[in-house]
Amino acid sequence: MTDQQDFAEALLAAESTFPPGLSTWNGSDPGRRFAVYRNNVIVSLIDALADTYPVTQELVGAEFFRAMAFQFIQKNPPRSPLLAFYGEDLAAFIETFPPAASVPYLADIARLEMLQVQAYHAADAAPLDAGEISQLLANEPELPRVSFTLHPSLGILRSRHAVVSLWAAHQTDDVTAALAEIAPNTAEAALVLRAGLDVEISRIPVGSAAFIAHLQQGLAFAAAAQQASAADPEFNLAAALCLLIQGDAITSVSLSTTP
Amino acid sequence: MNKTITAASLALALGAAMTVAATPAAAQNKMSDKEHCYGVALKGKNDCKAGAGTTCAGTSMRDHQGNAWSMVPKGTCEKTLSSTSPTGHGQLKEFKEKKA
């Protein structure tokens, strides 16, 4: 066990070292051979993060991103052989990484990109049809206690920064021109939802985002609407519901036992 | 929205949302502020990630040296910040001197 631990630690060490007890069959330098392996591990993991976080990388440049990713990898080695979700904690790491502090929205951009990956890989779920939703209206007194199960791919991000606009600017051909229109310190909320095989990222009102996030956490209809009204005086419940219905995002309804 | 949430107000909103959602196209921007930005199909990553790292070609890549973050982020963030007037601009410059 301890051999494995030494080996794993040396792989991700800041300086190139190699664990004791290594030997090579042909007499070549074990340090050199280990360095090749070590380098492949690190480069693969950095590449995996760069694939998952393309806009995060664009915001700070590849050189900065890759150096930051290496720091991250040393503290957060993969815990699964599947690299699809590797780097889930990158946003939290960015927040504690002083050199990134000059780009205050960087962590939320990373969160948005991870939600996109998670939405892409989330399970399928059939939406409620219009008839089933109409049935809710037949039992109006129970409506406040109804709770909604939302599509597994659905993600909400509420940010103090203009995350959706910044992210969307990086999907355009002329990024610089698109960025010129954006005030980064405007609060924005994102709805991430898969439609078929496409993950869609939309900017939605902050009240709608609060409502949907509370529903997702299991709050009943009335309580979620109440919270959203408190969070955003402009909250429009019909518009928020419309987002969910049009996005086929409601997969089941039930009566919650708690109000 | 009213401050008090009643069953009737919930029903009204749900009814309105269903009517709008059932009306194709024209309704899309009216009720929802949703802007469709981007649809993307990501390629899957499996447990054997092919790429630069799978060959020994990676050996000479020293790009994981850990000191590059002590520099100013060189991406589009600078453009973003300089193109608007709110706070937070000077930080990038001061940052250059800062040893992290």
A87 interaction partners in chain B (CB closer than 8 Å): none
Domain boundary among A69, A103, A137: A103
Choosing from A37, A69, A103, the residue where a domain stops is: A103
Distance CA A31, CA A22 (A): 8
Spatial distance between the Cα atoms of A209 and B69, rounded to a whole number of angstroms: 34
Quote the distance between the C-alpha of residue A117 and its chain's center: 7
Dmax (CA) of chain A? 81
Q: Which of the residue ranges A43-52, A117-126, A172-181 would you say has the lowest mean pLDDT?
A: A172-181
Let me know whether A207 and A84 are in one domain.
no
CA distance A173 to A191: 23
Smallest Cβ–Cβ distance between A179 and the set B73, B74, B79 belongs to: B79
User: Residue B8 is part of which domain span?
Assistant: 1-33
For position B81, what pLDDT does the model report? 57
Q: What does the pLDDT look like over B64-94, one tens digit per residue? A: 555 666 666 777 777 765 433 343 333 333 3
Instruction: Check whether residue A66 and residue A184 sit in a common domain.
Output: no
Cα-only R_g, chain B: 25
Q: Higher model confidence: residue A241 or residue B46?
A: A241
Question: How many domains are there within chain A?
Answer: 2
Residue A151: both structure tokens together: 């599509």
A48 vs A180, higher pLDDT: A48
**Which of A213-222, A243-252, B34-43 has the least mean pLDDT?**
B34-43
Who has greater pLDDT, A184 or B76? Answer: A184
Same structural domain for residues A68 and A156? no
Tokens at A42, concatenated: 């690190």
The mean pLDDT of B4-9, rounded to a whole number, is: 87
Q: What is the pLDDT of residue B28?
A: 45
Report the chain B residue with the minimal C-alpha distance to residue A225: B5
CB contact under 8 A, A184 and B80: yes
More confident residue, B26 or A115: A115
Contact A232, A215 (CB under 8 A): no
Q: Which residues, in sequence order, are CB contacts of A83 under 8 Å at separation 6+?
A: A44, A45, A48, B45, B46, B47, B49
On whether residue B46 sits in a domain, the answer given is: no
Optimal mutation site among B19, B29, B38, interface A, most CBs of chain A within 10 A: B38
Q: Where are the strands (E) in A78-159, listed by range?
A: 146-150, 155-159
More confident residue, B96 or A200: A200
Task: State chain B's mean pLDDT as an integer.
Answer: 55
- pLDDT tens string A123-143: 999 999 888 988 899 889 999
Domain stop point among A39, A70, A103: A103
Average pLDDT, whole number, for chain A?
A: 91
Closest CA to A109 of B19, B73, B48: B73
CA distance A15 to A1: 23
pLDDT of residue A199: 92
Q: Is residue B50, in this structure, part of any structural domain at all?
A: no
CATH code of A149's domain: 3.90.930
Structural domains of chain B, count = 2
Best residue in B6, B23, B34 to probe A by mutation, most A CBs within 10 Å? B34
Provide the domain limits for residue A31.
1-103
Q: Quick one: how far is CA A259 from the chain centroid? A: 30
Domain contains A113: no
Structure-derived torsion over alpha carbons of residues A193, A195, A201, A205, reported in degrees to the nearest 10: -60
3-state DSSP of A113-136: HHHHHHHHHCCCCCCCCHHHHHHH
| Domain annotation covers residue A244 | yes
Residues A135, A233: one domain?
yes
Tell me the whole-structure pTM to 2 decimals. Answer: 0.84
* Whether A173 and A57 share a structural domain: no
Q: Which pLDDT score, from 0 to 100, does residue A32 have? A: 85
Q: Which of B40, B68, B79 sits opposite A198 (nearest CB)?
A: B40
Q: What is the pLDDT of residue A245?
A: 94
In chain A, % of residues over pLDDT 90: 62
What distance in Å separates the CA atoms of residue A88 and residue A85, rounded to the nearest whole number? 6
Claim to verify: residue A18 and residue A96 sit in the same structural domain:
yes
My answer on whether A179 and A81 are in the same domain is: no
Does A116 reside within a domain?
no
